[in-house]
Amino acid sequence: MVVFSAFAGNAANSPEQACAEKMWKKLSEQVKYPDFAVKKAIQGQVTIIFTVSEKGFMQIKNVVTDEPELAEFVKKELTNLKCEEMIKVAGQYFKVRFHFHLI
């Protein structure tokens, strides 16, 4: 199971928050628990800080983790991810934490 927590730094119900909610949906569709991690029983957290380019592509700025293999997986999954809905907030910083836990 992958659990997401996210902080966009915006007030609730703002246009930025609405854009961010679309991004979280896209992230949850893109990042699934990787097979290698299930086989090795790897669990952990990966926090990414990113911006969105003016063309809608995610640009990862920083990654913090307690499990490097999961961090590499998340970076690979999110590199070149495009979310056109996020163009409105291009350049703004977002923070997302992925919790990978086996149940």
Every domain of the chain and the residues it spans: 2-100
pTM reported for the whole predicted model: 0.79
Kindly state the percentage of the chain with pLDDT values over 90. 37
Q: What local confidence, expressed as pLDDT, does residue 10 receive?
A: 45
Please, which pLDDT band fits residue 9 given cuts at 50, 70 and 90? very low
The CATH class given to the 2-100 domain equals: alpha beta
Give the pLDDT score at 64.
95
| Complete edge-to-edge strand list for the sheet that includes strand 58-65 | 2-7, 94-100, 44-52, 58-65
Q: What is the pLDDT of residues 66-90, one digit of tens each?
A: 999 999 999 999 888 888 877 888 8
Q: What is the mean pLDDT of residues 28-44?
A: 91
Q: How far is CA 7 from the centre of its chain?
A: 11
Mean pLDDT of 6-18: 54
Q: What is the pLDDT of residue 2?
A: 55
